Structure 1
Amino acid sequence: MTGFSQNVAVIAVLTGTTLAAGAAGISDDKVKIGVLSDMSGQYSDSGGRGSIEAARMAIEDFGGNVAGKPIELVFADHQNKADIGGARARQWWDAEGVDMIVDMNNSAIAAAVNTLAKERNKMAINTGAASTGLTNEFCAPTAVHYTMDSYSLANAAVGSMLKQGKKEWFILAVDYSYGKVTAGIITDFVKEGGGRILGTAFHPFNASDFSSFLVQAKDSGAQVVALANATQDTVNSIKTAAEFGMMSKQTFVPQLVYINDIHGLGLKLGQGLTFATGYYWDRNEQSREWAKKYQARMKKMPSMNQASVYSAVTTYLKAVQAAGTDEGLPVSQQLRKMKIDDVFSQNGYVREDGRMVHDMFLVQVKSPAESRGPWDYYKVIDTIPGDKAFQPLSKSTCYYVTKK
């Protein structure tokens, strides 16, 4: 596929048959979905082209039309800049008839899109950003936080280490919304579990050198180094730690890991890493079957984000079909009535605050000897039920949530 240097491209997905007169409530005689993702930066491997392909697969599998109307797919590169991402969402919603935006694999961008979704009564389904702020201070009645968040990722991983008696921690976090929120959540979990934070360091996004930050972690003497960063920043943190001889002396606990990261890191360096994930392609027959179809197109297995894009687009289309409209609030209300069990989600449902609650999995990276081949990377060592994995609704600061 070409054209990724451009901000926008359009893919029309039609059934190839004459469409019947449309159902009432479908605007512009079509349902238009936008994938807003990182197409060229460090989050592009876990989103980007793979997210577009996952959305396309969902539309094709749905039949190419909903409520008698064609489905159109557009995409844009947010370049990991909130102003660019916000401007693109505004243009899509104000001038181009987009009904739902998905992916947004950057927390600052997702927050900006949520604000616009609330103002314009449009659907936003965030599959790629992790900050819990998206269902707290940046919540919106027409926004859904679909895949995972800082709370669910830290809850499982931090708890696992504390149970092993590892009480002294150092946090290395990326210096923007996701990292700051995640560092705070890790700190809370560690202290609640009787542990101590011996230090915290924030590094720039897409840092070129982690040496000084990891020297601080090494000198702290902490038993555990928590990595509140993602993708290439996480990979480079671990590679630098290995060069410094830290991996055998301190336990590294990354918070947000995609299978693409482990593929790039390699099992020799990655073996033994323990973290939480919302998805693993080899979880069951349904997830394996879909992942192999995706692999045939993309020549790699899907990330957690890409699998959830497929699920989110499918679920959205089901909600539009049931509601008979693509208007934001009715579709959002319909989503909150649905159960979501598919290639991505196990025991899923959308909560009042927009949090899609589903089971999470604690996984450990296999050793080279344990792996049966490429992409056979994880051992699932625990399943955390959704109502235990995510921040309870009683702790929500979302402005419209009714406290129970």
Structure 2
Amino acid sequence: MATGRGRERQTAIYRAGAFGRTPSVPTDAAELERRAARRMTRQARAYVVGGAGEGASMRHNREAFDRHRIVPRMLRGAVDRDLSTTVLGTELEAPVLLAPVGAAQLVTRDSDVQIAEGAASARTPYVFSCQGGNPMEETAQAMGATPYWYQLYWSTDEPVVDSMIRRAESCGARALVVTLDTTLLGWRPQDLNLGSLPFARGQGIAQYTSDPSFRALVREQVRTASGPGEKVEVTLGAVRTLVSMTREYPGRFLANLRSPEPRAAVERFLGTYSNPALSWEHIATLRDRTSLPVLLKGVLHPDDAVRALEHVDGIVVSNHGGRQVDASVAALDALPAVRAAVGPEATVLFDSGIRTGADVFLALALGADACLLGRPHVYGLALAGADGVRQVVENVIAELDLTMGLVGVDRLSAITTDLLAG
């Protein structure tokens, strides 16, 4: 009898349905987004669902998937399917990781911990967001034995960069993912029309307010503004509690934005978190700064991909889900040329536009080793917390498994362009 994660997930849903219980999280991508968007606040919806400019890059991402056609092969007996793979030393039960999504705290309290709990339940690695609502150490505890990576935005302050890397190493991250395409925030009208930047309200900055190097910057800023004395110690204590204030008492924090302590942390963050001058010279220092495998995220041009692999261990082909540059090339359209340029042995991951297991299949066929799932897991979070994250991930992996069986492949290495039309 055929088994696998697809059959297991189907069976669980249909058995519950026999007793009148339907899934709390929709199994199709369109209804998942619609229901999650209704559950979110206007600010959360603008930030999570919205994109750059007029949304052309988001449309391009989905249109790229729609242009490809899978050609199933018959009578191949793919009864037992192996979805497992290893990426830079991290073992994956399926070629899916959860992408870092900043400011998920807009959706629910303790967002990153809940995402981690859902990822662990689905036995799926999670790339912790540098713009998280929980410190990486708390999120790591929620992952248990499931592996996790850490995303890094390159700060304008080099000691903060080093501190973040050290913390990621210390808390057990298996790899470092440096995001390249957000040295500046893209033009995002849905956020701008609401005047809503979560970081300016202290949301999504917990990695910084829990970081000793960043706190030292805040302490120095307040000392410079206020002069030395006892007030400095009070200010430092306030900075240390900023994480819990923003997570547990958002109203209290907002009411105190004009006070020196949290306001200084927010202002320092806005001037620190990402470096517009980031260059290949910065990237070249990573080999001396960490023993972790390093991936560069946001690569779309083949020449950039080749150069990246002179310095790091892997790349993520991504246009940031269409959130940074409008009218950008679709990430899926960029993927084949990148793979051709770097060769078959290089580590190439993919994100931007993944919604279903069939999407994962297409990305693998076009050259990805594994895929990062972004917005959909946040939609699951909005609908059902950690269990919603689990359901979304399990649905995507289930569809990938069933697609493999129906197409006639029993292992990931057999998913090639030969199975696509044209």
Q: Which has the higher helix share?
A: 2
Instruction: Indicate the structure (1 or 2) with the bigger Cα radius of gyration.
Output: 2
Q: Which has the higher contact order (CA 8 A, sep 6+)?
A: 2
Q: Which has the higher strand share?
A: 1
**TM-score of the superposition, structure 1-length normalised?**
0.32
